[in-house]
């Protein structure tokens, strides 16, 4: 897997960790996790708003992405360490392996989404994205980034017309996969929007774009710059790129985003163990901070998935023998938060 990256990219990755950016699974493999044999069996205690929804089997899972199937409420979680994809059906307390590590040559499983037709999209930060049928587990399509050089395919969003948009944290672009391309089954993953000229200058080697969401009507995308703490709006009709006016806070260390139909934007800030909630204006040009939760029991939250009644949050534990430093992880779990 590391052979896919240039040495400069590995340096970029190390710098990103120092700045609080979410790293690639390559780093997790470069710095092996300590054995959890003597680790506690559960996450640290919280103030009651945070509980454990289910457990992920395995000693070195280091989960990153999460997605909920809108049809049957099954939840999928991806491992940053080896690309395993887990599934937890409603009521299950322990997830099952849905796609084993290395399936179809996949090295990581970070960004996950289930579209309206029940197809599971899984990004591999080292190459691109694959699409699976959740009934048969068969891969339906695969798209890889064209060209050579550093890349980091991170998160994705799917608009109501079935088009997928994916962020690249190194190249600062947003890729696109159209329904026609999906039907073709394979092809190059090509940039649709280049945000490099719109981002706030940041230290060399920083990761930038990370989480991305679409508004329910498919009019615009929101993509976060986790180093600068900015939120960018992409108008899908005109292609115009602008910065969302944030009131009451910023999005530094922001990783996963979730946008509800009522305009509530939920954000996971990884290294600060923080969740924030924002009220987004109908046109997506302004966002006002309405709530903040900071709790060590979130264990470096990377992404989140909100359904009525609860928000599921990935506890990555990247700082416990994973890509953010040495240590011993506890059991890997997904948190349920009243948020």
Tens of each residue's pLDDT in the chain, 339 residues: 333 333 333 333 333 433 333 443 333 333 322 322 223 345 565 556 999 999 999 999 999 999 999 999 999 999 999 999 999 999 999 999 999 999 999 999 999 999 999 999 999 999 999 999 999 999 999 999 988 889 999 999 999 999 999 999 999 999 999 999 999 999 999 999 999 999 998 887 788 999 999 999 999 999 999 999 999 999 999 999 999 999 999 999 999 999 999 999 999 999 999 999 999 999 999 999 999 999 999 999 999 999 988 999 999 999 999 999 999 999 999 999 998
Asked if 47 contacts 295 with a C-beta cutoff of 8 angstroms, the reply is yes
Residue 16's closest CA among 224, 227, 201?
227
Q: In angstroms, how far is the first alpha carbon of the chain from the final one?
A: 37
Rg (CA), the chain: 18
pLDDT at 46: 57
Q: Within 10 A of 245 (CB to CB), how many other CB atoms are there?
A: 12
pLDDT at 27: 37
Task: Give CA separation, 40 vs 53, 252, 333, in Å.
Answer: 17, 30, 12
Q: Which residues contact 262 (CB under 8 A, 6 or more apart)?
A: none
Residues linked to residue 164 through DSSP beta bridges, in sequence order = 158, 177
Q: Which residues contact 30 (CB under 8 A, 6 or more apart)?
A: 2, 10
pLDDT at 45: 57
CA atoms within 13 A on the CB side of 140: 18
Residues linked to residue 120 through DSSP beta bridges, in sequence order = 114, 132
Residue 295's closest CA among 319, 310, 275?
275
d(CA 122, CA 154): 10
pLDDT at 16: 40
Residues linked to residue 97 through DSSP beta bridges, in sequence order = 86
d(CA 273, CA 191): 32
Q: Within 10 A of 331 (CB to CB), how many other CB atoms are there?
A: 20
């Amino acid at each position: 897997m590391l052979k896919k990256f240039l040495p400069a990219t590995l340096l970029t990755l190390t710098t990103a960790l120092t700045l609080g950016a979410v790293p690639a699974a390559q780093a997790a493999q470069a710095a092996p996790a300590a054995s959890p044999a003597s680790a506690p069996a559960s996450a640290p205690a919280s103030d009651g708003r945070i509980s454990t929804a289910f457990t992920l089997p395995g000693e070195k899972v280091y989960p990153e992405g999460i997605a909920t199937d809108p049809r049957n409420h099954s939840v999928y979680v991806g491992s940053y360490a080896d690309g395993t994809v887990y599934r937890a059906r409603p009521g299950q307390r322990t997830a099952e392996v849905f796609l084993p590590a290395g399936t179809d040559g996949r090295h990581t499983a970070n960004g996950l989404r289930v579209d309206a037709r029940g197809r599971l999209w899984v990004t591999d930060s080292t190459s691109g994205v694959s699409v699976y049928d959740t009934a048969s587990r068969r891969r339906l399509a695969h798209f890889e980034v064209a060209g050579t050089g550093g890349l980091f395919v991170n998160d994705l969003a799917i608009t109501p017309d079935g088009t997928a948009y994916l962020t690249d944290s190194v190249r600062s672009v947003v890729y696109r996969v159209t329904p026609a391309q999906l039907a073709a089954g394979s092809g190059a993953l090509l940039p649709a929007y280049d945000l490099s000229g719109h981002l706030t200058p940041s230290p060399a080697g920083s990761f930038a774009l990370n989480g991305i969401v679409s508004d329910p009507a498919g009019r615009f995308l929101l993509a976060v710059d986790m180093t600068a703490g900015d939120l960018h709006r992409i108008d899908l009709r005109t292609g115009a790129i602008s910065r969302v006016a944030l009131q009451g806070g910023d999005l530094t260390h922001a990783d996963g985003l979730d946008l509800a139909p009522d305009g509530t934007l939920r954000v996971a800030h990884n290294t600060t163990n923080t969740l924030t909630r924002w009220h987004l204006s109908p046109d997506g040009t302004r966002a006002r901070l309405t709530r903040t939760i900071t709790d060590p029991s979130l264990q470096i939250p990377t992404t989140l998935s909100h359904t009525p009644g609860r928000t599921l949050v990935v506890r990555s534990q990247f700082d416990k023998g994973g890509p953010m430093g040495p240590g011993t992880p506890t059991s890997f779990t997904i948190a349920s938060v009243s948020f």
